[in-house]
Structure 1
């Protein structure tokens, strides 16, 4: 039986990333931060990513607990260092969580379709398309290189990569850099061959439209942006 989940439009997910970035630049109150992280967690649950959401949510509260325990000992340099690390990671976590929520059950093609619907200029759309597809290709190349190394008995364990840095540079970094150049050229050519640069209106098999859940997410994000610093 297929998992049932609520589908969010890429534009509403992008709004969550923008909201998280604004909270990173203009810090919200602790209550506002907790409400925003809870909102993202509910979004994960509705969007079928409860495992990822639970990990992020538990990690947020662990960082909060660590800050609460170490703050009374802030005069001690070691406690101050770890408390700074806890607070810094807690501040960064909503942005990372929003980005993970944005890519959860949303394909690259759906993002491209949403950007086209927004009338994003082709000068920006083509580089973004190449960027979206670049990193998954690089990850796949890395996995292929690691499988080839293990087959030949080179750096079988992950620890070996750190124990022998020169070997890692020779067998992983150099091939990845060479592959990255070819991959970027191939992806750019593929985007142009598929007519992505054609100024005429494009069609898409994906239905990009705002639904009730998207409007609700927009409304809650606006409320948090307005009142998040004064809660």
Structure 2
């Protein structure tokens, strides 16, 4: 059997599958667009576009939850700044406004983590000649957060078995003792495990690595990147 006939799972969840370079480019563009955004209406339109992209990529369920939080912060910010502008709640509104600007990039980061495998990300970054000093920590970080999420689910199930299936507000002390402390311990253990696994797989090997994954830009990638550039130039032009 030839090596190029081996079937590989490209982790496609939705209607389209974007390249890792496209998603990283969109994260950069969204950061710049939010910084230069002249009005909140443009920010809302950009958020809706990102949510539509998340649905097309198959991560709509989680992204819509983040989008709901975004609009809750948006409404809270509007109410506080217009109806309660003379109170101390204005500082709460500033915090909400800061979180609003982070959430669109968080959705794009979620798409990256959910649809891109570590090997695919490394192959994509090698194609644009990113040095290993950046590639290795970034790829380990990409695998780190899902691992912590898996540990959190396991700890929550163990808490439910012991009758501690409550929220932080209902049982703050028990939540810290039974959930957050084990997660912190698990985070340190996971970091050591991922580092050992990376070294075992020869991540420090100076020679060129090969991959079975077909890493290339498709029509959807070019269309999405052009739309992102268009949004950025629109924001800069409105200043």
**Smaller-chain TM-score bracket:** 0.7 to 0.9
**1:1-231 alignment to 2 at 5 Å?**
5-57=15-67, 59-61=69-71, 63-68=73-78, 71-77=81-87, 80=90, 83-84=93-94, 86-151=96-161, 153=162, 156-159=164-167, 163=171, 165=173, 167-231=174-238
Report the CA distance shift for 1:142/1:123 in structure 2 as closer, same or farther (over 3 A): same
Change beyond 3 A, Cα 1:160–1:48: closer
- Structure 2 gap segments, 5+ residues each: 1-11
Question: SS of the residue aligned with 1:77?
Answer: coil
Deviation at 1:70?
A: 5.0
TM-score (norm 1): 0.78
Q: Which runs of 5+ in 1 are unaligned?
A: none
**Aligned partners of 1:150, 1:112: CA distance in 2, in Å?**
38
User: Matched residue of 1:159: which SS?
Assistant: coil
**Which segment drifts farther, 189-198 or 101-110?**
101-110
What TM-score, normalized to structure 2? 0.76
CA distance in 1, matches of 2:47, 2:105: 10
Q: Secondary structure at the match of 2:121?
A: helix
Preserved contact between residue 8 and residue 213 of structure 1 (Cα < 8 Å): yes
- CA pair 81-219 structure 1, distance change in 2 beyond 3 A: same
Provide, for residues 4-28 of structure 1, a one-character-per-residue CA deviation record: whole Å limited to 9, x for no partner: 5111111111111112222344444
Secondary structure of residue in 2 paired with 1:208: coil
Pairwise CA distance, 1:164? 5.2
Q: Distance in 1 between matches of 2:169 and 2:96?
A: 28
Question: d(CA) in 1 for partners of 2:219 and 2:93?
Answer: 41
Maintained 8 Å contact 1:33/1:228: no
- State the distance in 1 between where 2:96 and 2:50 align: 20
Correspondence for 2:6:
none
Structure-2 change in CA distance of 1:11 and 1:193 (3 Å): same
Q: CA RMSD in A?
A: 3.2
Give the number of aligned pairs: 227
